[in-house]
Structure 1
Amino acid sequence: MPLLGVIFYFSKSPRFIPEEVVQAKLISLFILTIILPILLYFLLKTLGKVKSIKLVTTNERIYPLMLNSVIIILVLKRIVTPSQVVELYYFFLGILLSNLACLILAIFKFKASIHMIAISGITMFFIALSIHFNININGTLALMSIIMGAVATSRLHVKAHTAIELVLGIFIGVIPQLVLVNYWL
Protein backbone atom coordinates (compact mmCIF):
# COMPACT_ATOMS: atom_id res chain seq x y z
CA MET A 1 0.00 0.00 0.00
CA PRO A 2 2.74 2.56 0.73
CA LEU A 3 4.25 2.04 -2.71
CA LEU A 4 0.82 2.40 -4.31
CA GLY A 5 0.34 5.69 -2.46
CA VAL A 6 3.71 6.98 -3.68
CA ILE A 7 3.01 5.96 -7.29
CA PHE A 8 -0.38 7.67 -7.10
CA TYR A 9 1.21 10.80 -5.63
CA PHE A 10 3.83 11.05 -8.37
CA SER A 11 1.23 10.43 -11.08
CA LYS A 12 -1.12 13.17 -9.79
CA SER A 13 1.22 15.79 -8.35
CA PRO A 14 1.40 18.99 -10.42
CA ARG A 15 4.83 19.72 -8.98
CA PHE A 16 7.94 19.26 -11.06
CA ILE A 17 9.99 16.41 -9.70
CA PRO A 18 12.90 15.20 -11.82
CA GLU A 19 12.33 11.75 -13.33
CA GLU A 20 15.58 10.45 -11.79
CA VAL A 21 14.39 11.43 -8.31
CA VAL A 22 11.03 9.72 -8.85
CA GLN A 23 12.70 6.54 -10.09
CA ALA A 24 15.20 6.49 -7.22
CA LYS A 25 12.43 6.90 -4.64
CA LEU A 26 10.26 4.22 -6.25
CA ILE A 27 13.11 1.71 -6.42
CA SER A 28 14.14 2.45 -2.83
CA LEU A 29 10.57 2.11 -1.60
CA PHE A 30 10.06 -1.10 -3.58
CA ILE A 31 13.07 -2.63 -1.86
CA LEU A 32 12.17 -1.37 1.62
CA THR A 33 8.40 -1.91 1.58
CA ILE A 34 8.09 -5.08 -0.50
CA ILE A 35 11.35 -7.03 -0.81
CA LEU A 36 12.65 -6.47 2.74
CA PRO A 37 9.35 -7.40 4.48
CA ILE A 38 9.16 -10.62 2.44
CA LEU A 39 12.71 -11.53 3.46
CA LEU A 40 12.01 -10.63 7.09
CA TYR A 41 8.89 -12.81 7.03
CA PHE A 42 10.94 -15.82 5.95
CA LEU A 43 13.49 -15.02 8.67
CA LEU A 44 10.74 -14.85 11.31
CA LYS A 45 9.24 -18.08 10.00
CA THR A 46 12.63 -19.79 10.16
CA LEU A 47 13.13 -18.53 13.71
CA GLY A 48 9.68 -19.79 14.69
CA LYS A 49 8.30 -16.36 15.55
CA VAL A 50 5.45 -16.69 13.02
CA LYS A 51 3.65 -19.80 11.86
CA SER A 52 2.03 -18.54 8.67
CA ILE A 53 1.64 -15.44 6.56
CA LYS A 54 -1.83 -14.99 8.07
CA LEU A 55 -0.46 -13.99 11.51
CA VAL A 56 -3.44 -15.57 13.21
CA THR A 57 -2.55 -14.83 16.84
CA THR A 58 -1.74 -11.48 18.37
CA ASN A 59 1.66 -12.81 19.51
CA GLU A 60 2.60 -13.57 15.90
CA ARG A 61 1.86 -9.96 14.94
CA ILE A 62 4.24 -8.32 17.40
CA TYR A 63 7.59 -8.95 15.64
CA PRO A 64 6.37 -8.16 12.12
CA LEU A 65 4.77 -4.92 13.32
CA MET A 66 7.94 -3.93 15.21
CA LEU A 67 10.08 -4.63 12.15
CA ASN A 68 7.67 -2.75 9.92
CA SER A 69 7.88 0.24 12.25
CA VAL A 70 11.67 0.22 11.91
CA ILE A 71 11.34 0.06 8.12
CA ILE A 72 8.92 3.00 8.07
CA ILE A 73 11.24 5.02 10.32
CA LEU A 74 14.07 4.29 7.88
CA VAL A 75 11.87 5.47 5.00
CA LEU A 76 11.04 8.67 6.91
CA LYS A 77 14.69 9.38 7.71
CA ARG A 78 16.24 8.54 4.33
CA ILE A 79 13.74 8.51 1.48
CA VAL A 80 10.80 10.86 2.06
CA THR A 81 12.10 13.69 4.19
CA PRO A 82 9.79 16.66 4.85
CA SER A 83 12.11 19.02 2.97
CA GLN A 84 11.72 17.01 -0.24
CA VAL A 85 8.13 15.79 -0.49
CA VAL A 86 6.08 16.97 2.49
CA GLU A 87 2.88 15.13 1.48
CA LEU A 88 4.63 11.77 1.30
CA TYR A 89 6.46 12.44 4.56
CA TYR A 90 3.18 12.88 6.43
CA PHE A 91 1.65 9.94 4.57
CA PHE A 92 4.43 7.69 5.89
CA LEU A 93 4.23 9.28 9.33
CA GLY A 94 0.54 8.35 9.35
CA ILE A 95 1.48 4.81 8.32
CA LEU A 96 3.93 4.68 11.23
CA LEU A 97 1.30 5.88 13.71
CA SER A 98 -1.22 3.33 12.41
CA ASN A 99 1.40 0.61 12.63
CA LEU A 100 2.28 1.56 16.21
CA ALA A 101 -1.40 1.64 17.21
CA CYS A 102 -1.83 -1.85 15.76
CA LEU A 103 1.31 -3.00 17.61
CA ILE A 104 0.01 -1.64 20.92
CA LEU A 105 -3.30 -3.42 20.39
CA ALA A 106 -1.45 -6.66 19.57
CA ILE A 107 0.57 -6.36 22.77
CA PHE A 108 -2.74 -6.03 24.67
CA LYS A 109 -4.07 -9.13 22.84
CA PHE A 110 -6.47 -7.34 20.49
CA LYS A 111 -6.34 -8.02 16.78
CA ALA A 112 -7.25 -5.12 14.47
CA SER A 113 -7.48 -5.79 10.75
CA ILE A 114 -4.19 -4.77 9.14
CA HIS A 115 -5.85 -5.13 5.73
CA MET A 116 -8.47 -2.53 6.66
CA ILE A 117 -5.85 -0.26 8.23
CA ALA A 118 -3.91 -0.25 4.97
CA ILE A 119 -6.80 0.24 2.54
CA SER A 120 -8.57 2.87 4.64
CA GLY A 121 -5.35 4.80 5.28
CA ILE A 122 -4.46 4.99 1.60
CA THR A 123 -8.04 5.94 0.71
CA MET A 124 -7.86 8.84 3.18
CA PHE A 125 -4.53 9.90 1.65
CA PHE A 126 -6.11 9.87 -1.82
CA ILE A 127 -8.99 12.05 -0.56
CA ALA A 128 -6.52 14.50 1.00
CA LEU A 129 -4.48 14.65 -2.22
CA SER A 130 -7.58 15.36 -4.28
CA ILE A 131 -8.40 18.30 -2.00
CA HIS A 132 -4.79 19.49 -1.81
CA PHE A 133 -4.16 19.48 -5.56
CA ASN A 134 -7.78 20.34 -6.40
CA ILE A 135 -8.11 17.36 -8.75
CA ASN A 136 -11.11 15.22 -9.57
CA ILE A 137 -10.37 11.59 -8.73
CA ASN A 138 -13.94 10.49 -8.13
CA GLY A 139 -13.41 7.32 -10.17
CA THR A 140 -10.39 6.38 -8.07
CA LEU A 141 -12.26 7.10 -4.84
CA ALA A 142 -15.23 5.03 -6.00
CA LEU A 143 -12.86 2.16 -6.84
CA MET A 144 -11.18 2.47 -3.44
CA SER A 145 -14.59 2.32 -1.73
CA ILE A 146 -15.42 -0.85 -3.64
CA ILE A 147 -12.03 -2.33 -2.73
CA MET A 148 -12.57 -1.43 0.94
CA GLY A 149 -15.91 -3.21 0.87
CA ALA A 150 -14.41 -6.23 -0.87
CA VAL A 151 -11.57 -6.43 1.64
CA ALA A 152 -13.95 -6.18 4.59
CA THR A 153 -16.28 -8.77 3.10
CA SER A 154 -13.45 -11.18 2.38
CA ARG A 155 -12.03 -10.83 5.91
CA LEU A 156 -15.46 -11.62 7.36
CA HIS A 157 -16.05 -14.46 4.89
CA VAL A 158 -12.82 -16.28 5.81
CA LYS A 159 -13.56 -15.57 9.48
CA ALA A 160 -10.20 -13.85 9.92
CA HIS A 161 -11.79 -10.95 11.82
CA THR A 162 -14.93 -9.83 13.56
CA ALA A 163 -16.86 -6.74 12.51
CA ILE A 164 -15.41 -4.84 15.48
CA GLU A 165 -11.85 -5.66 14.42
CA LEU A 166 -12.62 -4.41 10.90
CA VAL A 167 -14.18 -1.15 12.10
CA LEU A 168 -11.27 -0.59 14.47
CA GLY A 169 -8.91 -1.20 11.55
CA ILE A 170 -10.69 1.47 9.52
CA PHE A 171 -10.36 3.98 12.35
CA ILE A 172 -6.69 3.14 12.92
CA GLY A 173 -6.02 3.67 9.21
CA VAL A 174 -8.04 6.85 8.73
CA ILE A 175 -7.46 8.84 11.92
CA PRO A 176 -3.64 9.29 11.67
CA GLN A 177 -3.94 10.34 8.02
CA LEU A 178 -6.80 12.70 8.88
CA VAL A 179 -4.97 14.28 11.82
CA LEU A 180 -1.69 14.69 9.93
CA VAL A 181 -3.37 16.24 6.89
CA ASN A 182 -3.50 19.46 8.94
CA TYR A 183 0.28 19.74 8.62
CA TRP A 184 0.46 19.66 4.83
CA LEU A 185 -2.95 20.52 3.38
Structure 2
Amino acid sequence: MPLLGLILVFNSSTYFSSGIPPTGQWVTILLVFLFTCLMPLLNVLYLHYKGFVDSIYLESKEERRLPYAITVAYYIILYYLLKELQLPPILYLIILGCMLASILAFVINLKWKISAHMIGMGGLIGVIIGVSERLTLDLNATLIVLFVMAGFVGFSRLRLNAHNPFQVYLGFLVGMGSLLIMILVA
Protein backbone atom coordinates (compact mmCIF):
# COMPACT_ATOMS: atom_id res chain seq x y z
CA MET A 1 0.00 0.00 0.00
CA PRO A 2 2.85 2.50 0.49
CA LEU A 3 3.57 2.16 -3.21
CA LEU A 4 -0.03 2.91 -4.18
CA GLY A 5 -0.12 5.83 -1.74
CA LEU A 6 3.06 7.25 -3.22
CA ILE A 7 1.76 6.91 -6.77
CA LEU A 8 -1.48 8.67 -5.77
CA VAL A 9 0.45 11.48 -4.08
CA PHE A 10 2.82 11.91 -7.03
CA ASN A 11 -0.15 12.13 -9.39
CA SER A 12 -1.99 14.74 -7.36
CA SER A 13 -1.73 18.39 -8.30
CA THR A 14 0.57 19.33 -5.43
CA TYR A 15 4.13 20.39 -5.05
CA PHE A 16 5.02 16.68 -5.04
CA SER A 17 4.42 16.37 -8.75
CA SER A 18 6.10 19.65 -9.66
CA GLY A 19 8.81 19.76 -6.99
CA ILE A 20 10.36 16.40 -7.78
CA PRO A 21 11.72 15.77 -11.28
CA PRO A 22 10.35 12.69 -13.07
CA THR A 23 13.65 10.84 -12.58
CA GLY A 24 13.47 11.49 -8.84
CA GLN A 25 9.88 10.27 -8.76
CA TRP A 26 10.82 7.05 -10.55
CA VAL A 27 13.80 6.42 -8.26
CA THR A 28 11.55 6.96 -5.24
CA ILE A 29 8.86 4.65 -6.62
CA LEU A 30 11.48 2.00 -7.43
CA LEU A 31 12.96 2.13 -3.92
CA VAL A 32 9.53 1.95 -2.31
CA PHE A 33 8.60 -0.99 -4.57
CA LEU A 34 11.81 -2.85 -3.72
CA PHE A 35 11.62 -2.33 0.05
CA THR A 36 7.86 -2.62 0.61
CA CYS A 37 6.80 -5.15 -2.04
CA LEU A 38 9.50 -7.21 -3.70
CA MET A 39 11.96 -7.83 -0.87
CA PRO A 40 9.30 -8.67 1.76
CA LEU A 41 7.67 -11.05 -0.74
CA LEU A 42 11.01 -12.72 -1.48
CA ASN A 43 11.65 -13.03 2.26
CA VAL A 44 8.33 -14.79 2.84
CA LEU A 45 9.06 -17.16 -0.04
CA TYR A 46 12.53 -17.84 1.38
CA LEU A 47 11.15 -18.41 4.90
CA HIS A 48 8.63 -20.85 3.44
CA TYR A 49 11.30 -22.60 1.38
CA LYS A 50 13.52 -22.99 4.47
CA GLY A 51 10.62 -24.23 6.60
CA PHE A 52 10.42 -21.27 8.99
CA VAL A 53 6.78 -20.76 7.99
CA ASP A 54 4.27 -23.40 6.92
CA SER A 55 2.48 -21.27 4.35
CA ILE A 56 3.16 -18.13 2.35
CA TYR A 57 -0.20 -16.89 3.66
CA LEU A 58 1.23 -16.54 7.20
CA GLU A 59 -2.01 -17.73 8.74
CA SER A 60 -0.91 -17.90 12.38
CA LYS A 61 0.37 -15.05 14.50
CA GLU A 62 3.50 -17.07 15.25
CA GLU A 63 4.37 -17.24 11.55
CA ARG A 64 3.94 -13.47 11.19
CA ARG A 65 6.53 -12.43 13.79
CA LEU A 66 9.68 -12.74 11.71
CA PRO A 67 8.17 -11.24 8.53
CA TYR A 68 6.86 -8.27 10.54
CA ALA A 69 10.30 -7.73 12.10
CA ILE A 70 11.95 -7.93 8.67
CA THR A 71 9.42 -5.44 7.31
CA VAL A 72 10.29 -2.96 10.06
CA ALA A 73 13.98 -3.35 9.16
CA TYR A 74 13.18 -2.67 5.50
CA TYR A 75 11.31 0.51 6.43
CA ILE A 76 14.32 1.71 8.43
CA ILE A 77 16.63 1.09 5.47
CA LEU A 78 14.16 2.70 3.05
CA TYR A 79 13.84 5.78 5.26
CA TYR A 80 17.60 6.36 5.25
CA LEU A 81 17.90 5.73 1.51
CA LEU A 82 15.11 8.19 0.75
CA LYS A 83 16.70 10.80 3.04
CA GLU A 84 19.60 10.86 0.56
CA LEU A 85 17.21 11.97 -2.22
CA GLN A 86 16.20 15.16 -0.38
CA LEU A 87 12.47 14.76 -0.94
CA PRO A 88 9.67 16.88 0.53
CA PRO A 89 9.43 16.22 4.30
CA ILE A 90 5.89 14.83 4.11
CA LEU A 91 7.19 11.82 2.17
CA TYR A 92 9.49 10.93 5.07
CA LEU A 93 6.54 11.25 7.43
CA ILE A 94 4.60 8.78 5.28
CA ILE A 95 7.45 6.25 5.48
CA LEU A 96 7.74 6.82 9.25
CA GLY A 97 3.98 6.28 9.55
CA CYS A 98 4.27 2.99 7.68
CA MET A 99 7.16 2.04 9.94
CA LEU A 100 5.07 2.88 13.02
CA ALA A 101 2.18 0.77 11.69
CA SER A 102 4.59 -2.14 11.12
CA ILE A 103 6.04 -1.83 14.62
CA LEU A 104 2.54 -1.76 16.11
CA ALA A 105 1.56 -4.77 14.00
CA PHE A 106 4.60 -6.65 15.31
CA VAL A 107 3.85 -5.76 18.94
CA ILE A 108 0.10 -6.46 18.71
CA ASN A 109 0.84 -9.71 16.90
CA LEU A 110 2.76 -10.96 19.94
CA LYS A 111 -0.61 -11.28 21.70
CA TRP A 112 -3.30 -11.21 18.97
CA LYS A 113 -3.48 -11.74 15.25
CA ILE A 114 -4.16 -8.51 13.34
CA SER A 115 -5.20 -7.97 9.73
CA ALA A 116 -2.19 -6.77 7.74
CA HIS A 117 -4.48 -6.21 4.75
CA MET A 118 -6.54 -3.76 6.76
CA ILE A 119 -3.42 -2.08 8.17
CA GLY A 120 -2.51 -1.40 4.55
CA MET A 121 -5.95 -0.10 3.62
CA GLY A 122 -6.17 2.03 6.76
CA GLY A 123 -2.69 3.37 6.11
CA LEU A 124 -3.55 4.28 2.54
CA ILE A 125 -6.67 6.12 3.68
CA GLY A 126 -4.62 7.78 6.43
CA VAL A 127 -2.13 9.03 3.83
CA ILE A 128 -4.86 10.53 1.66
CA ILE A 129 -6.65 12.15 4.63
CA GLY A 130 -3.35 13.46 6.01
CA VAL A 131 -2.14 14.86 2.70
CA SER A 132 -5.58 16.34 2.03
CA GLU A 133 -5.65 18.08 5.41
CA ARG A 134 -2.03 19.19 5.45
CA LEU A 135 -2.09 20.60 1.93
CA THR A 136 -5.78 21.65 1.92
CA LEU A 137 -6.67 19.51 -1.07
CA ASP A 138 -10.06 18.10 -1.98
CA LEU A 139 -9.43 14.37 -2.26
CA ASN A 140 -12.95 13.32 -1.27
CA ALA A 141 -13.59 11.31 -4.45
CA THR A 142 -10.38 9.35 -3.89
CA LEU A 143 -11.36 8.77 -0.26
CA ILE A 144 -14.80 7.45 -1.21
CA VAL A 145 -13.23 4.93 -3.58
CA LEU A 146 -10.66 3.90 -0.96
CA PHE A 147 -13.27 3.46 1.78
CA VAL A 148 -15.32 1.23 -0.54
CA MET A 149 -12.17 -0.76 -1.36
CA ALA A 150 -11.37 -1.06 2.36
CA GLY A 151 -14.89 -2.35 2.95
CA PHE A 152 -14.43 -5.02 0.30
CA VAL A 153 -11.02 -6.02 1.66
CA GLY A 154 -12.37 -6.23 5.22
CA PHE A 155 -15.38 -8.22 4.07
CA SER A 156 -13.16 -10.64 2.14
CA ARG A 157 -10.91 -11.20 5.18
CA LEU A 158 -14.01 -12.02 7.24
CA ARG A 159 -15.60 -14.14 4.52
CA LEU A 160 -12.41 -16.19 4.18
CA ASN A 161 -12.38 -16.69 7.96
CA ALA A 162 -8.86 -15.29 7.95
CA HIS A 163 -9.79 -12.83 10.73
CA ASN A 164 -12.54 -11.93 13.12
CA PRO A 165 -14.17 -8.47 13.11
CA PHE A 166 -11.94 -7.19 15.95
CA GLN A 167 -8.77 -8.08 14.01
CA VAL A 168 -10.10 -6.39 10.88
CA TYR A 169 -11.17 -3.17 12.63
CA LEU A 170 -8.01 -3.05 14.73
CA GLY A 171 -5.87 -3.43 11.61
CA PHE A 172 -7.70 -0.59 9.90
CA LEU A 173 -7.36 1.69 12.95
CA VAL A 174 -3.67 0.90 13.41
CA GLY A 175 -2.94 1.70 9.77
CA MET A 176 -5.00 4.86 9.57
CA GLY A 177 -3.99 6.10 13.03
CA SER A 178 -0.27 5.57 12.44
CA LEU A 179 -0.25 7.54 9.21
CA LEU A 180 -2.48 10.32 10.50
CA ILE A 181 -0.34 10.75 13.62
CA MET A 182 2.83 11.03 11.56
CA ILE A 183 1.45 13.31 8.86
CA LEU A 184 -0.70 15.63 10.97
CA VAL A 185 1.00 15.64 14.37
CA ALA A 186 4.71 15.06 13.75
Q: Is the TM value for this pair above 0.5? A: yes
Aligned with residue 98 of structure 1, among 98, 101, 119: 101
Q: 1:80/1:143 Cα in 2 relative to 1: closer, same or farther (>3 Å)?
A: farther
Provide the rounded CA distance (Å) in 1 between the counterparts of 2:47 and 2:138.
43
Instruction: List 4+ stretches of structure 1 deviating above 3 A.
Output: 80-83
Q: Hey, what's the Cα distance between the residues in 1 that align with 2:174 and 2:83? A: 22
Equivalent residues of 2:130, 2:184 under 8 A apart: no
Q: 1:55 to 1:95 in 2, by over 3 A?
A: same
Aligned to 2:160: 158
Q: Deviations over 1:100-124 (max 9, x none)?
A: 111112222x101111111011101
- Is the 8 Å Cα contact of residues 10 and 22 (structure 1) preserved in structure 2? yes
Are 2:92 and 1:89 equivalent residues in the alignment? Answer: yes
Give, as a single letter, the amino acid of the residue that structure 2 aligns with 1:5.
G
Query: Retained in 1: the 8 A contact 2:97–2:183?
Result: no
- Unpaired segments ≥5 residues, structure 2: none
Q: Does 2:54 match 1:41?
A: no
* RMSD of aligned Cα (Å): 1.7
Partner of 2:75: 72
Give me the whole-angstrom Cα distance separating, in 1, the residues matched to 2:135 and 2:124.
16
1:25 Cα deviation from its structure 2 partner: 1.0
| Residues 142-181 of structure 1 mapped to structure 2, 5 A cutoff | 142-181=144-183
Shift of 1:17: 1.1
Mark the CA change 1:2 to 1:180 in structure 2 (over 3 Å): closer, same or farther. Answer: same
Give 3-state SS (helix, strand or coil) of 1:50's partner: coil
Distance 1:80 1:158, change over 3 A: farther
Paired position in structure 2 for 1:125:
127
Identity %: 28
Cα pair 1:82 1:89 within 8 Å, conserved: no
Q: Secondary structure at the match of 1:112?
A: coil
Correspondence for 1:12: 12
